[in-house]
A and B are shown apart, each in its own frame.
Chain A
Amino acid sequence: DAMVIQNPRYQVTQFGKPVTLSCSQTLNHNVMYWYQQKSSQAPKLLFHYYDKDFNNEADTPDNFQSRRPNTSFCFLDIRSPGLGDAAMYLCATSRDRMLTQETQYFGPGTRLLVL
């Protein structure tokens, strides 16, 4: 089945130690998104790629970066994780952001723990 895959499901890192979360998709969608979701809060969009075009949200900290080497893969890099970055990180895709009706397909998320 076509899907959005996130690995690992759980990631433990140390304070200040760079960490990379990965996302892959078999849907061949143009758009890939990264969200951060803290406990009991709604998902918050960090950035998205429309094909190779990177779009950063205004309030996304510089500590968060992203790479999309090809259509299928997208990575979230946290350069120096702090305790406040512990959260669930969700990857999502959509076929195209230019259509009037557009739905997103979410992966299962990676829960990041910062020690």
Chain B
Amino acid sequence: LAKTTQPISMDSYEGQEVNITCSHNNIATNDYITWYQQFPSQGPRFIIQGYKTKVTNEVASLFIPADRKSSTLSLPRVSLSDTAVYYCLVGGAGSARQLTFGSGTQLTVLP
């Protein structure tokens, strides 16, 4: 079971780029890295997923170094509405173990 470690909290200001790093030292060969966002009193929402190198979509980028022991979620030009908890999950095919959420990072965006 791949355990993840994230900072408990981060503060940023509107318009800044935010990078949240997740450590997953015992990631397995077939594991993917997935990030979810959760607002208060709502279910988590998928943000981005990757296996290696860099993945980009309309809301975020995910950077994964060659050894895959960590990953960094990058949120460009955050706004107040990006204040949420961000979870990093690691897992692979055929297993519900990927569904073990880490402690998450509370991102607070300040005006």
Residues of A within 8 A of B (CB): 4, 33, 35, 42-45, 48, 55, 57, 88, 90-92, 97-109, 111
- Give per-residue flags for B9-25: 1 if the beta carbon is below 8 A from chain A beta carbons, else 0: 00000000000000000
Known A43-B101, A55-B96; contact A107-B32, beta-carbon cutoff 8 A: no
Q: Are A42 and B93 in contact (CB under 8 A)?
A: no
Q: Are B42 and A108 in contact (CB under 8 A)?
A: yes
Q: Contacts of B46 on A, CB cut-off 8 Å?
A: 103-105
Residues of B within 8 A of A (CB): 30, 32, 34, 36, 41-46, 49, 87, 92-96, 98-104
Roughly how many angstroms separate A108 CA and B98 CA in the complex, as a whole number?
Answer: 21
Cβ-defined contact, B32 with A106, below 8 A: no
For the complex, give the distance between the alpha carbons of A91 and B98 in Å: 16
Contact across chains for B101 and A100 when beta carbons are under 8 A apart:
no
A106 touches B99 (CB 8 A): no
CB-defined contacts of B43 to chain A, threshold 8 Å? 4, 90-92, 106-109
A45 to B89, CA, bound (A): 13
State the CA gap A111–B99 with chains docked (Å).
Answer: 21
Shortest CB-to-CB span from A37 to chain B, Å, is 9
Q: Is the CB of B99 within 8 A of A104?
A: yes
Chain B nearest Cβ from A113, distance in angstroms:
13
Q: Which residues of A contact B87 (CB under 8 A)?
A: 42
Contact check, A88 vs B96: say whether CB atoms are below 8 A apart: no
Closest-by-CB residue of A relative to B43 is A106
